[in-house]
Amino acid sequence: MSSDSSDFRPSNQILPKLIIHGGAGSSLKGKGGADAVRQSLYSVIEEVYLLLQEGATAQAAVVRGCQLLEDDPRFNAGTGSVLQSDGQTRMSASLMDGTTQKFSGVINTARVRHPIDLALFLQDVDDRILSDYGSAELLRELQVPLYDPTTDLRLQEWIQERAGNFDKTMAGVVAEQELVSDNAGRGTIGVVALDGQGNIAAGTSTGGKGFERVGRVSDSAMPAGNYATAQAGISCTGIGEDIIDECLAAKIVIRVTDGLSLKAAFERSMQEAHTHKRDLGAIGLDATGAIAWGKTSEVLLAAYHTGERIADTLDMATGMQVSAV
């Protein structure tokens, strides 16, 4: 037997798979921007996939991946979240364990570093989705240190929008204003993992659309934007209202459950979304280890690990596209 056992897995285990995203939206500006996004995504992929290799559950891997992406101010989740029309940061996140088929999440939470941590805690209680007031009470109950996720760049972005009376129709998916031209893209983040025992989990976190009406609810804390069963898991990104109208994550998972391949489920769902003129993207994987992604938006900021290599979606052609490995 070789002394190198890094590829050894017991016969009852399967090869873990992982895919993450950092948003979708309008086209990236310049190769330098794409390279910066790629570096951010790959660093998360490398750390989280190592956890899966070491035996972490899909749920634990998803939570860690979301935490890392929430900490990266390049993306619109956690630190660096966009501000709402009143200048406040409110974030939403959800987690779904495909094995237990439990969904948990928080809507419009504030003053917390990792909204995904609240979603994780709620996995094991009876009341599993909390709004702003409930999540604030939970933070106090758990004695989580208060944290301000606002960055100077987001504050300046809000000041510029306020001067223009908030006339942007889409701010928080991929920001490409001159103010942030050195940041190629930021958006809703998501992680979907398949662990060595065949369990699937999905997590999604966002700062919202940006400059929206106070109280607006995104798809990220709904099964429309984040959904997993034993058969497949999906995380969505893009315009939340478009994702909700398509009920995209649950739709793709149900199609897989009903017998379509993951790629075919993506193709049918994205074609429908394209016909309806939606602006969105999604990533996912299934119990066979297939990985897929698709978009109707111009770009999808995603990266994945097949078990053998890391790759990304940053060079996808513009317009509606679906791919799988």
Which sequence positions are flagged as catalytic? 188
The residue type of 69 is L
- Cβ-contact 40, 222 below 8 angstroms: no
The residue type of 113 is R
Residues in CB range of 66: below 8 A, 6 or more apart: 77, 93, 95, 114, 116, 189, 190, 191, 203, 204, 205
* Rounded Cα gap, residues 115 and 69, in angstroms: 11
The CB-side HSE value for 259 (13 A sphere, CA atoms) comes to 0
Going by the DSSP 8-state scheme, the letter that residue 266 receives in this structure is H
Residues in CB range of 290: below 8 A, 6 or more apart: 261, 262, 263, 324, 325
A 10 A CB-CB count for 101 gives: 11
Pick from 56, 67, 71, 81: nearest CA to 116: 67
Beta bridge partners of 238: 280
* Rounded Cα gap, residues 119 and 235, in angstroms: 15
Give DSSP secondary structure letters for 181-215. Answer: TTS-----EEEEEE-TTS-EEEEEEE--SSSPPTT
